[in-house]
Structure 1
């Protein structure tokens, strides 16, 4: 009987340690079990007194509106959805100018393309990513302002 209680107590302790370690791991870093983590950063490079206003969202997450002054940024990360795929949209406003675009779309990116940088500039929206770094240190222009 004593061995049974000891074994049962040991199992409870191991289970408690496992749950505690998972909680610590989860709180210290995002854990994408089946897929990979994607990071997106938006940087305002517009030297102007008017700030850049952004609003980004997916069908599951609304990241809200953010106002970025010159050389400030906003970033977020998410776990790519295994079977449904992920897609994030963004609206950028700068004065009377506006641009709506896909900030991330699973069909265009793979696991090696996990870090994305979007740059708002006076002449448009530029992009660089971990997998497709900036050419000669310069991000690639993707969109003009409307």
Structure 2
């Protein structure tokens, strides 16, 4: 039994060392994280008297809340972590409607946010729209 432990320890160390070298040399932005710009825009056509209230946070960072009038936006830049678990959740409230959604989640967004790493949301009366260029919007889900 002691022989197998002696063999496995150096082997495990070699694998770990190769992984670190790979991350440092071949994938440096994975080690330090990639930056993404996230933007949530109030796309309501007429809510002058009733703002869209937004509150966003991750496990490590509370971005706080804002009251957005028509065409106002709430934006932030984030850096993904080494483990690929970066996740920002936003809660929206408008009148009697309330909805929480994933504003950014690594497995879903690392590719769909495009080469410019831009993740934009447009909130309208009929739902939530996503775009990586703020020209082409796709409805992702409704308020209910």
**Partners of 2:35 and 2:78 within 8 A in 1:** yes
Aligned length: 111
Shift of 1:33: 6.9
Deviations 1:49-93 (A, max 9, x none): 311000111000011111000011110011110125200001011
Matches within 5 A, 1:1-146: 34-46=32-44, 47-48=46-47, 49-110=49-110, 113=113, 114-129=117-132, 133=133, 137-146=135-144
Normalized against structure 2, the TM-score is what? 0.70
Structure 2 residue ranges without an equivalent (≥5): 1-29
Considering fraction of residues, name the structure with more helix: 2
**Partners of 2:84 and 2:107 within 8 A in 1:** no
Query: Aligned-pair RMSD on alpha carbons?
Result: 2.1
C-alpha separation in 2, matches of 1:36 and 1:112: 14
